[in-house]
Amino acid sequence: MIPRGKIRIKDFRTDYTGGLEKGEAKEKALEFGERIGEMQELLYANSQHSVLLLFQGLDASGKDGAVRTVLEHVDPAGVETANFKVPSHEERAHDFLWRVHKAVPRYGNIGVFNRSHYEAVLVERVLSIVPKAVWSKRYAQIVDFEKMLVTNNVVLLKFFLHISKEEQAERFRARLEEPHKRWKFASSDLETRGYWDDYMRAYEDAINATSHKVAPWHVVPADRKWYRDYVVGKTVVAAMERLKMNWPKPKEDLSKIKIV
């Protein structure tokens, strides 16, 4: 977890595993997934909070994989997902947070942002889609927006999946070599890879500017998929358990009901 302050991306090892063995980490990740499934029922029954999992990371960092593992045992009806691609004409006619706020999950549900409002200070910065005078002001707007969400009972968990350039290359090669993975590959992925250093600086600045007390960033080592899933699962379980949810009491006296 990264509190608001100065960090350097290069100080975080992408292959860090905390001394865990692969088998142990995968077993615990499975347990975390089952626990999340149980607590999602409580979340829905109470409908006082929502949980929003926000994932950022370069191509092949494992955003989809982490979501599949962590939410494997969650009822799909209780999950809302959003993937923020190039803004539509309508979206560009509003402020950059308009389309994001609409996608925040309803109370009782778990939401997933595969990429998010942070694209407005990442890709739009790196590709010079908007000038610095515009994107530099967005950090404060993002923090205010996230604080508003948390104040209104949205549990916001932000994950930066930190992958090395070497591991990304290996995963790209696998996509090209394995028939069932080729559909994932696009030549534009290599264009983005050419801006690697620029993206690292953009991520570093974004994390430093927007990691705040109620919604800190979690920098997750992502070279080892099994450790990535372990960290994300553990973080989600801890956050949901802090809600201290109980089964709600019936709205009527059930002792008077007879089924014949």
pLDDT per residue over 22-46, tens digit each? 999 999 999 999 999 999 999 999 9
Structure tokens at 82: 């959003």
Q: What is the pLDDT of residues 104-123, one digit of tens each?
A: 999 999 999 999 999 999 99
Phi and psi for 61 in degrees, rounded to 5? -75, -15
Structure tokens at 136: 């530099």
Beta strands in the chain (DSSP E): 50-56, 79-83, 110-114, 154-162, 217-221
pLDDT of 125 over the 70 cut: yes
SS3 content of the chain, % helix, strand, coil (to 5): 55, 15, 35
- Could you tell me if residue 220 is inside a domain? yes
Predicted pLDDT of residue 5: 60
Predicted pLDDT of residue 183: 85
What average pLDDT does this structure show over 69-75?
96
- Could you tell me if residue 45 is inside a domain? yes
What average pLDDT does this structure show over 204-212?
97
Q: What is the pLDDT of residues 234-247, one digit of tens each?
A: 999 999 999 999 99
Q: Side by side, which strands form the sheet with 50-56?
A: 79-83, 110-114, 50-56, 154-162, 217-221
Q: What is the pLDDT of residues 132-162, one digit of tens each?
A: 999 999 999 999 999 999 999 999 999 999 9
pLDDT of 3 over the 60 cut: no
- Could you tell me if residue 155 is inside a domain? yes
91: domain CATH number is 3.40.50.300
Q: What is the pLDDT of residues 41-71, one digit of tens each?
A: 999 999 999 999 999 999 999 999 999 999 9
Residues 6+ apart with CB under 8 A from 133: none
- Could you tell me if residue 93 is inside a domain? yes
CA 221 to CA 232: how far, in whole Å? 10
Structural domain containing residue 156? 9-243
- Could you tell me if residue 126 is inside a domain? yes
Name the residue with tokens 């050419």.
Answer: 194
Predicted pLDDT of residue 251: 84
Q: Are 147 and 214 in contact (CB under 8 A)?
A: yes
Structure tokens at 5: 């302050």
Q: How buried is residue 159: exposed, middle or buried, by Cβ count under 10 Å (0-12/13-18/19+)? A: buried
At 188, the pLDDT band (50, 70, 90 cuts) reads confident
Give how many domains the chain has, as a whole number. 1
Q: Are 100 and 116 in contact (CB under 8 A)?
A: yes
- Could you tell me if residue 174 is inside a domain? yes
- Could you tell me if residue 257 is inside a domain? no
Within a 10 A sphere around the Cβ of 232, how many other Cβ atoms? 26
Higher model confidence: residue 49 or residue 187?
49
The candidate with the shortest Cα–Cα distance to 157, out of 232, 93, 221, 59, is 232
- Could you tell me if residue 74 is inside a domain? yes
Q: What residue type is assigned to position 122 of the chain?
A: L
> Half-sphere exposure of 157 toward its Cβ, with a 13 Å CA cutoff?
22
pTM value? 0.94
Residues of the chain with pLDDT > 90, as a percent, come to 86
